[in-house]
Structure 1
Amino acid sequence: MTLRFTLNGRPAEAEPAAPDQPLLYLLREEPFALNGPRFGCGLAQCGACTVLIDGRAVRSCSYPAEAVEGQSVTTLEGLGTKESPHPLQAAFNAEGAGQCGYCSNGMIMQSADLLSQNRRPSESEIKEALARNLCRCGGHNRMVAAVARAAAAMAG
């Protein structure tokens, strides 16, 4: 079964290796070979695999690939480029918010969902939005500051 969907703003087609293949594997393997979404726990608990589907944060390790038919999927690579980073990517860099970087994908993608719904989140709203994303390095304070910085930049 060939899936047709939008990936990072472009039409995409792919054939899952199995009917129950998680979206994460489809994105990380050929033909896409994307490195943004990461395998963490495989149980939708850590957030490392987070992508946006039709603008909402979804844990791709437990989301069936076949469910993206006709939908729009955005990965970290689709938010911005090295030359023109998304305000969240720029803010995470400016704040030094990614120590080891393993959780950065999930933190940024979850934050993108938050900022699409709430342009001026409070510190407590940012913390609540990121609460289900695990970070073992302890960079949470810098990540909260980065999201606040990005929100200010996006608000103009």
Structure 2
Amino acid sequence: MENNLLRTKNLSAYFGDKEIVKNVNVNFKPNQVVAIMGPSGCGKTTFLRCLNRMHELVPSASTTGEILMHERDINSLPPILVRSKIGMVFQQPNPFPNMSIYDNVIAGYKLNGVKLSKEDKDKIVHDSLKKAALFEEVKDK
């Protein structure tokens, strides 16, 4: 058996009926450095979001094919576990464009299954935006 940390088999990703990523087969091995390159809009980010199950958070999004982490289908694993093992860091800040500022601030809690009251969410958002010196700029948005 090959020593793959992560691999895709015929992975395709869609937004509605539009195919964004088509039949990608790739193996990621231990200590391997991989660059995913291509022009803007070619599906690089969508591909990466599929690997950590972030793609499925978009209501119209779907995938076909397989994504295996240590030879286990990631869809059989809790999303929180997958996301804790497969992270993403971008050169530019990359908030969720289809979510409000409020929802972007509390996204980490939601993605990790933390249940918060409306009051707690409001306080976290307020305090976070104050600490980032953004509250005055975005308070009415």
* TM-score normalised by the chain length of structure 2: 0.30
**Which protein has the bigger strand share?**
2
* TM-score normalised by the chain length of structure 1: 0.28
Instruction: From the CA coordinates, give the structure whose radius of gyration is larger.
Output: 2
